[in-house]
Each structure stands twice: as C-alpha cells, then as structure tokens.
Amino acid sequence: MAVIGKSKSVLILTGRVINEAVSFIVFSVLDLIDFLLCYVYKLADFFIEAEWKPCYCSSGKEAITSSGKILVSEQGESKIVCLSSTKVQLEEISDTLYTRPSLVSEVSNLTVTELKRLKVDRTFVQSCEKVKKGGTVRSTFTVNSSIVDMLQGKIGKQLLHPIPRWSDCDCSFCNSWTSSCKETLFVRAEGPRDKAREDVLFIHGFISSSAFWTETVFPNFSSVAKSTYRLFAIDLLGFGRSPKPTDSLYTLREHLDMIERSVLEPNQVESFHIVAHSLGCILALALAVKHPGYVKSLTLLAPPYFPVPKSEQATQYMMRRIAPRRVWPLIGFGASMACWYEHISRTICLLICKNHRLWEFLAKLVTRNRIRTFLLEGFFCHTHNAAWHTLHNIICGTASKIDTYLDQVRDQLKCEVTIFHGKDDEVIPVECSYNVQSKIPRARIKVIEKKDHITIVVGRQKAFARELEEIWRNSSG
C-alpha cells in the first residue's frame, strides 16, 4: 500500500509539473496571438466602421472614455462618473480590464518605461512650464471638460446604442430589443397579475439567459405555486433578448438599475424571493443589500465566493482563481481564454455568436434534434462587449465587496438563505458555498451528488422546483 501511495503521489506531481510547463508555453503563445490580433481588429474596425476602436491592451483610459464615459481617479482606483436625477456618483470599474500580467505585456511595459526614462527631462520641463502658466500644481479630482456640460444639463441621459458592431450578430432574435421604445430587460413573467401573494425573481449566470429557468423549473411548478407567486425570469443586460448597448461598461450599477427598472418598479414589487445561479448570485446579494426589507428568501446556486487574503489585491486574486492560466482542466482553460484575452475572446464570439444559427443547425443535425436548444440560446446570444465587461466588472470587480454584502445579509436581513451546489462542479468549486456559510452561519447548504454547474438544475428540474416551493412556504410562514 505504501508503494502504491508513493507511486500515486509521484504521478500527481509529474502531472502537475507537465501541466504547468505546457501551460506556460501555450499561454505565452496566446499572449503573442492576442497582441497581434489587437492590430488586426484595429484595422478591421477602421475599414468596416470608419473609426479606430481603442482597446484595453493599448490604453484602458482611452477604451473607457471613447464610449462617452468620464474617467476619474480616486484614492488610486479608477472610477467613472454617473449622473442621476439628484446627484453625481462615482462607480468603480475593475482594474482587470486593463491590467492582466503576461509575458508580452511585461516586455511592452519595460519598453514603454525605457522610452519614458529617455524623455523624462523634456517632460519635466514641459510640466514645469504648464504649472507656471496655470498657477496650480495638481487637482485631487481631475475630469475632462465634458463633466461641466453634463452638470449643466447639456448632456442628458445616454441612450442605449442600437447599432450592433460588425463582429456581433445582427439577427432579429439577438437584436429584437432595438424595435422596442422601452429601455428595459427582456422579462418572462408567469403567474397571477393581481392576486399574487408574493413575487419571485430569477437571475441567470454568466453567458446564459432566462431560458435557463423558464425551460426547466417554470413548467414543473405546482398549480398552487403558479397561482400564488408571480415568477419573473430576466435576461441580464447584454444577454439573450435584452439590450446590448455597445457603449455600456456593464457595471454593477448598470445591471442593478436595469433589474429595478424592468421588474421591481413597473410591477410594484415590494416583497420577493430571489433565485440566482453563478454570477447571478453576486447581483442577488447586491440587490438584497439594496432592498433589505423586501427580500423574503435568498436561494443561491454555485455562488462564486473566494475569500481574498489580506495581502492580495482583490480583483487580481479573483481573476487568478477563476482563470488560472492552465490548460487543464479544460473548463479552466476556457475561462482563462475568456478572461485574459480581449481579442482572442472577441474572435471566439465572432466565430460562434455571430454565426450561432449555423451552429444551432449543425448541433440539431448531429444530435438528431435531441440537444437542449435553450442552453445553446443562452450560450450564443450575447456580444463580446457584454461578456467581457460583465465578467471583469461583476465577477472580478466585486471581489472586494462580497464580504461586505455577506456581512450585511447576516446582520441586517432576516431572510432565509439556502445554497445549492453540484458536487462535480468544475467551474465554481463546492468550497465557495461553504465559504458563504462561514460568513452567514444560518445559511443551509445542499450539495447534490453527481451534478455539476449546469446539471444542478438541468436534469433535476422537478426536484428543484419542489425544493424551491418548500423554501418559499417556509419563508412566508
């Protein structure tokens, strides 16, 4: 037995070393490919759309301000200025959008640093001249001149950009939102309109849609549940049939505002349950904290919560956890491609999302129409801009806020918290659910054997529907 144990340990260590060595080579090549694709897309955008499109690998500031956003710096963090009807707000954006360490970026940064060093004397002289002319040295709150126009009312609320980019799908399904005068999310609602006792909000995960709920649990609710609750399943901003504005940064505020504007406000929702999956759990926690008196129960499926060590920068730590730059397991390799490479991920969207009708046809042909098409719909129907910014600004960007959200749910909310997790989930490990429970001791965890990130619902929808009904009954009682 001892010999077998040692042999197993040697094999595991050997496999780990091989994985790291192959990963270093593969991702070094991908770094170079993404660097080259940057210039390919700049040329393509210029010839097809008649203007240069900045990206984050060249200038994060330019990529943000080009969409009409106002970028400021506060206490070393990048934020954008948001104007509501009553006040100006600063909204955080994730630094992982423009800071992703790689071999090519390190070489590029060293080159830029050397060039700056060579020109330092000239720059210093010019800076001194500007200081003398201006009579001031530095402002602690610097914005460009457009904020003055905004505050004077010359720039109103920005409208959602209805024109898809050349690399995005232009089919009627993906762009059905452009034919509506309402700037709201696509919402699938079921249940009584007037006599509903309570409401339920379903929030899907990353690269998914409302069909994840409406094609699984919705048909399996009992007649009593359907006559008691109003069920709302949304397509998040940038996904499914919801708006996909090209000038949006898909920040936490934008996602929450759209949920409120599309569901809570028009339907006068005052008491509701939340059911959320994966990335949707982050939005669910933020929404619950924002409306603590309204939430009756929180049901979280595979919440992506990784406690951040004090010595680590939260956003960068989260990015490394969900996208470890390893070729194995394959799901981690896919996450790394989506998270680390702006232009490679755009290429994937160009090949898959723009041509989703072809892929759907081929999938049905090969599987003899046995594949679950609603999963394909959720996977294909989004834009690169939506997926890229949502991944970074929601999953990575909120890493420093999740602890606060969980503390507030524990201390300020009295609602029931239930967590479901698939034992075989390779996207979000089971430890994340136990991490949530360590912050909210009253949370109940149910780990489902032989189920993963998707089959936690798909394939067991009848059982899950019954579990949800029990949670809602207990919360209402």
What is the set of active-site residues?
Answer: 204, 278, 425, 453
CB-based contact 138:73 (threshold 8 Å) = no
- Cβ neighbours of residue 241 under 8 Å, at least 6 residues apart? 173, 174, 176, 177, 186, 209, 235, 381
Neighbours of 337 (CB within 10 A): 18
Sheet containing strand 88-92, strands side by side: 71-74, 77-83, 88-92
User: Dihedral of the CA atoms 120, 126, 127, 130 (nearest 10)?
Assistant: 180
Question: How many whole angstroms separate alpha carbon 274 and alpha carbon 135?
Answer: 55
DSSP-assigned letters across all residues of 439-458 = HSTT-EEEEETT--TTTTTT
DSSP for 195-255 reads S-SEEEEEE--TT--THHHHTTTGGGS-HHHHHHEEEEEEPPTTBTTS---TT----HHHH
Beta-bridge mates of residue 189: 232
Tokens of 27: 């991702």
228 touches 470 (CB < 8 A): no
CA distance 98 to 73: 14
Collapsed DSSP state (helix, strand, coil) of residue 327: coil
Q: What is the CA radius of gyration of the chain?
A: 24
Task: Count CB neighbours of 72 within 10 A.
Answer: 15
The SS3 call for residue 146 is: helix
CB 397 within 8 A of CB 389: no
